[in-house]
Structure 1
Amino acid sequence: MLLIHMARLRIAFFIILLLSLAGLEARAQFLMDMVDTSKDMGKNMLGLYQKYNYLRISGYIQPQFQWIQEKGAKTYSGPDFPANSNNRFMLRRGRFRFDYARFNKDDKASVHFVIQIDGTERGVFIRDLWGRVYENKFEVFGLAMGMFARPFGYEVNLSSQDRESPERGRMSQILMKTERDLGAMLSFEPRKKGHKWSWLKIDAGIFNGQGLAGPAEYDSYKDFITRASVKPRKVGNSVKLSGGLSYLNGGFVENSKYRYTMASENGKPLYQVDSSGSNVGSKAPRKYAGADIQWELKRGKGSTILRAEYWKGTQSSTAQTSETPGVPPGDPIYVRPFNGAFFYLLHSIGKHQLGVKYDWYDPNTKVSGTQINKEAGNFTSADIRYNTLGAGYIYYMSDNLKLVLWYDWVKNESTSLNGFEKDLKDNVLTCRLQFKF
C-alpha cells in the first residue's frame, strides 16, 4: 500500500508540473494574495488540491543583458556593476515557489503554507517562508506568520514577475529592502460572494524591522505596518479604479549617544547633534505614510493604465546611507525627513505594451543642490535626491514568456560634494526574457 501511495504522489507531482508549464493555472499578481475559491486562481488550486494532494508549484526566471554608461557604476537596476565592466549577462531572479493548502469539507481554505526560493549566480536565498490560517465562520479574516512581504504601498507588493519595469523604484529598494520581513499579519478580506465589504482589504502586522537586510532581529523594537485598500471597482463601462493608504511606525535601537537631526543656522540647513547619554538604548524613529491610486481604461483590444504612489515620513540611518541598518549600528544616527513617488503610464494593444515610469527619492527634504556640503552642514551622498525616468517595450509572447526592453535615465541633483558636482553616468539599458511556469 505504501508503494502504491508513493507512486500516486509521484504521478500527482508530475501532472501538476505539466499543468503549470502549460500555463493552465492563474498566477496571483500580489505577493500576499489570499486563496479565494470564488476566483479563477482559487478554483484551479482547489481542483488540483482535491485530486493531487494539495500541492502547487510555480516559478519564473529572468535572464538578462545590461549596459550602463560607466564601468563600475552603482545602480538600483540590479546589483552594482563590477569595477571593470559596463555590461553583463546575469540572472536577475530565479524564483521557485511551493504552495501547500488544506481545504475543509465545505471546500473553504483553512491553512496555506508557502516557501519561495531565489536562485541565481549570486547564490540561493529564501524569499518567502510563511503560513496563513483562515477564519471560516465569517470568511473575512486570515492570520499569517513567517517571512513575507510588508503590507505597505502598491509597488512593494506587486510581484516582480508581473511588474512592467525591470525593478522597483529606488525608494522602495532603500526603505523596504527585499520587500520582506519576519512578523505576523492579520488581514480583513471578505471571501464570500456578495459580501457588503468585499471591496475592502485591510492588512495590519508587527514586524522585526530590518527585514532581510540583516541575519536576525537585534533589538526589542518592532515595526507596525498597515494598509487599507479599495479593490478595483468599475466606474462606468470601461474604467476601473483602486487605491490604498499605508502607514508604518517603528524604529531600531541606538548604540551611539550621537543623534543628528536637521536644523537651520542663519537660514542655512545643517545637521545639529544631540550627544545626550540617554540616546543610548533609545529608539531611532522610522515613520512613513503612503497613498496610492490605480486607474485603468479598457477599449476594445487596448488598455491604458495610470498608477501613482506617494510616500513621505522620517527615516533614521547612518551618515553614509538612508537604508535601515541590517545589523546593530554603532555609528551616530542621522534622522532625515524624506519623500518620494512612483508614476506608471502603460498602454497595451494585444500582446504589445509600452510603458513610461517616473520616480523620485529625496532622502532629505530639508536640503538640496549646492547646500549639500560636507564642511558647511556635515551632509553626505545619503542626502542627495535622485530622479529616474524609465521607458520600455514589453512583448507578451505567450503565457509563459515575456520580453522586456527598458532604458532608465537616472539623474542626481548637483551638489557641493566631491564626485557629485554633476550628474553621474549611471543610465542603464536592460534586455530581459522572463520564463514562467
Structure 2
Amino acid sequence: MRNFLVFVFFLLPIIAKAQNNNAPSSYDPHDIKITGYLQTQFQVAQSPGIYSWSGGDFSEHSSSRFMLRRGRLKVDRVDKFSSVVFQLDGTQDGLRIMDAFIQFHSPENKSLKFTAGLFNRPFGYSIVYSSGYRDFPERARVFQTLMPRERDLGAMISYKPNKAFSFITAELAVVNGSGLNARDYDSNKDIIGNLSFNFDSLANKKLHLGFGASIYKGTVRNNTTTVFKPINNGFSNSTDAANEGYNFRRDYYGANLQLGYKNSFGETTFKTEYIEGKQPGVAATTTTSGLAASTSFGTQPTGNLYLRNFNGYFFWLTQQIANSKLTAIVGYDVYDPNTDVDEAEIGMAGNNTTAGDIKFSTLGYGFTYALNGRLKLTIYNEHVKNDGTALPNYQSDIKDNVFTTRLQYRW
C-alpha cells in the first residue's frame, strides 16, 4: 500500500475529468431536466451456469443471454442554492431506485455542499464515475464485491474551493453501511472520507492528471457466538458469548491515479486504483457462492463471520485510434479476498478455508465505437483466471470467461 501511495502522489506524467454521479445534470439553475441512458447487450459465457461479475450469474443451463444491463432515467432540478436528484434503473428484473438525494449550498458560495439521501459512496474513482461514460463494461470485481450497487443512505459534506484551488475536492460521508437497503441492521454508522486532485489543462491543455486517496471506517454486527479469525494458513475458530452482538471492523484504504494525454494519434488514458483492508464475510456454501462470501451485507448476516484481510486493484488503458471514433481498451483487475492464505492451501483439512477465499484475476480487451454523439458500441472479451486449490470444484482454473457485445444510447 505504501509503495502504491508513493506511486500515486509522485508520478507526474496522464485523465479525463470524472463524470460524478453525486451531482445533478448541471449546476446551472433549471427546472425539471430528464437525462439517462440505456444499455442492451448480448453475452456468451465459457460454460453454462457460471458465477460472474459481468452483469450477474448465468442461469444453470445457459451460456448465452440477451439482457438489459442498465436503463437509467435521471430527473433533477436546480435553483440558486439547492438541487434534487432522483434516478431510476429499469432492467428485465424490474424497476428500482438508484439515486434520491437533496443537495444544497450557500447562495453566495458553492464551495461547500451538503447532500442527504441515497447517493454513491464517495470512495475513490471508479465507484462515483458514471457507468454511462465508462469505457469498460463493468467496474472491477473488488469494488463490485465490497460496494455492491455503489449506493448507500446517509449524509455527506463536500468541499471544492473556487478559483486557484478548484483542483481539490474533499468529501466526508456518514452512511448506514447496508447499501440500498433502507433498513439498517445495526445502530452503528460507517464513515467515508475522500480527497482528490484533478488538473485538467496541463501541457497546453494536452495533459490531464488526477489522483486521490480514500478511507472507509465501518463495522459489521455479528449474530453468532462463533467467529473465524485469520491466521497464516487459514482461520482459527473462536467461540465466545461476547462475539454475539459484537461489531467487527470493516475498514478500507484506497488510492487512485488517472492520466490522459491528447497526442497526434489520438487520446491515451491510463487509470488505476488500489484498495486493501479488512472485510467481514461468511463461508462459501452450497447456497452461498464463493463470489458472494465476501460481499458486503445489505441485511443482518445469519452465519458465522469470517474476518478476512483483502486487497485488490485494476489497470485500465484506452487508446483512441488515429483520432477516429474507434477506441481500443485493455483492462486488468485482481481481487484477493484473503491475503493470509495461498491458493494451494485453500480447502486443506482443518484450516476452515472455502471458495470464498480464492483469488481471481481478469484480463479484458476490446474496443468501443462511437456511432454518433449518443450511440456507442462496445465489444469486450474477459479471461477470468484462478489458481488451483484443494477444493473439489476448484482444483484448476474454472471456465468462466465472458464475451460481451453492448449497445448504449445516452440522452
TM-score, normalization by structure 1:
0.85
Aligned equivalent of 1:224: 191
Paired AA for residue 136 in structure 2: S
Q: Which residue of 1 aligns with 2:19?
A: 29
Q: Which residue of 2 aligns with 1:83?
A: 60
SS at match of 2:350: helix
Residue 145 of structure 2 corresponds to residue 181 of structure 1: no
Asked if 1:245 corresponds to 2:213, the answer is: yes
Structure 1 Cα separation of the partners of residues 401 and 213 of structure 2? 32
Normalized per residue, which structure has more helix? 1
Residue aligning to 1:435: 409
SS in 2 for 1:75: coil
28 and 398 in structure 1: CA distance in 2 versus 1, 3 angstrom threshold: farther
- Partner residue in 2 for 1:102: 79
1:26-425 aligned within 5 A? 29-33=19-23, 41-42=26-27, 45-46=28-29, 49=30, 54-103=31-80, 110-190=81-161, 192=162, 195-212=163-180, 214=181, 216-237=183-204, 238-264=206-232, 269-300=233-264, 302-320=266-284, 321-348=293-320, 349-425=323-399
Q: Which amino acid aligns with 1:72?
A: G
Deviation at 1:67, TM superposition (A): 0.2
What are the ranges of 5 or more consecutive residues in structure 2 without an aligned counterpart?
Answer: 1-16, 285-292
The alpha-carbon deviation at position 350 of structure 1 amounts to 2.6
- In 2, distance between residues paired with 1:326 and 1:131? 23
| 1:356 CA drift (Å) | 0.3
Looking at structure 2, the residues matched to 350 and 247 of structure 1 have their Cα atoms a distance apart, in angstroms, of: 39
Taking the aligned partners of 1:28 and 1:288, their CA distance within structure 2 comes to: 22
Partners of 1:60 and 1:240 in 2: how far apart? 26
5+ long unaligned stretches in structure 1: 1-26, 36-40, 104-109
Contact 2:156–2:171 (8 Å) recurs in 1: yes
Pairwise CA distance, 1:33:
3.7
Q: Across the two proteins, how many residue pairs are aligned to each other?
A: 384
8 Å CA contact 1:360–1:388 kept in 2: the answer is yes
> In percent, how many aligned pairs have the same letter?
36
**Cα deviation per residue 1:6-32 (whole Å; 9 max; x = unaligned)?**
xxxxxxxxxxxxxxxxxxxxx981211
Comparing 351-360 and 224-233, the one that deviates more? 224-233
Residue of structure 2 in register with 1:22 after alignment: none
Q: Report the CA distance shift for 1:173/1:221 in structure 2 as closer, same or farther (over 3 A).
A: same
Q: Cα deviations across residues 200-242 of structure 1 (Å, max 9, x unaligned)?
A: 0001000000102x45211011110011000134442332211
Q: Which residue of 1 aligns with 2:3?
A: none
CA contact (8 A) 2:18 2:129 kept: no
Contact 2:21 2:120 in 1 (8 A): yes
Q: Distance in 1 between matches of 2:84 and 2:109?
A: 21
Task: Give the Å deviation of 1:435.
Answer: 0.8
The one-letter code sitting in structure 2 at the alignment partner of 1:372 is I
CA contact (8 A) 1:182 1:208 kept: yes
- 1:372 and 1:383 map into 2 onto residues whose CA distance is 7
**TM-score when normalising by structure 2:** 0.90
Distance 1:125 1:281 in 2: 31
C-alpha RMSD of matched pairs (Å): 1.6
